[in-house]
Amino acid sequence: MYNKKEYDSGTFKQKEANRWLVEEDEIKIGEINLLTLETPGHSPGSLCFYTSDVNKFKGNEIGGIVFTGDLLFRGSIGRSDFPGGNQNLLFESIRKKIMYNKGINDNFIVCPGHMGLSTVGEEKANNMFRKFFL
């Protein structure tokens, strides 16, 4: 996390991590456990997080939540044309880590870094890039 005002002012100083997260690391936030997924493609070191500890969203039953950052958007995908990005890895990450992950089902809410919420099932049915990751 960073302070946007500090970042925009040019006084932001990046801090070194004391430990890098890796696949299946758990992060506990209150009563919620987030599992880490290594999802390269948009950029090296990209991570997604998911939990099945949340069962309701806006009064509806859900399977859980997956935070996809810049990997998977509602109806689209993240860019892979940045330094270190790789389109084949991006599609592989979506396929293996999100779409065919035994811990994630079609009723999981997709919370991307941009473009609004969706579900895994909606992305399987409607994402314009689905033929590349299903």
Identify the CATH number of the domain defined by range 17-133: 3.60.15.10
pTM of the predicted model, to two decimals? 0.87
pLDDT band at 7 (very low <50, low <70, confident <90, very high): low
What is the average per-residue pLDDT within 12-25?
86
Ranges 11-20, 51-60, 81-90: which has the least confidence: 11-20
Q: What's the pLDDT tens digit per position in 44-55?
A: 999 999 999 999
What 3-state class would DSSP assign to 95? Answer: helix
Q: Where are any strands of DSSP class E within the chain?
A: 26-29, 32-38, 47-51, 56-57, 60-61, 64-69, 72-73, 76-77, 108-112, 118-119
